[in-house]
Amino acid sequence: MKMSIVTVALVVPDYDEAIAFFVGILGFELLEDMAQAPGKRFVRVAPPGGAGAALLLAKAANDGQRAAIGNQTGGRVFLFLHTDDFDRDHARLTSAGIAFTGPPRNEEYGRVAVFIDPFGNKWDLVQPTG
């Protein structure tokens, strides 16, 4: 049996604001942006290179969903963004105004720093060891 996770839904306050961040700041590719019902779109973005899952940017549609924006994991790191050049991407994100919660550190699994996206989600920027 072979299975994979291909898309993860991320609740956001606004489609265009989320696209501006993920495509304009993080450098993700816009895979799909399709109109559906009035006020609803099917928007998928993914890091360049296509090696992992895509994000489905899901605009919050009610109070419960709006309350979950930035806290889908109860305050824990939610997403893990691997890079082949930590220093390059850390510098690029820092210069773009991305807030890191602390300095980069070296762990057994690689070089890592936690950043917070504009919606409040915590991410690990990781260059894996080996």
Domains and CATH numbers, the chain: 1-69 (3.10.180.10), 72-130 (3.10.180.10)
pLDDT of residue 49: 86
Rounded Cα distance between 42 and 67, Å, is 21
* pTM, 2 dp: 0.93
Residues 17-46 pLDDT 10s: 999 999 999 999 999 999 998 989 999 999
Residues 47-101 pLDDT 10s: 998 778 999 999 999 999 999 999 999 999 999 999 999 999 999 999 999 999 9
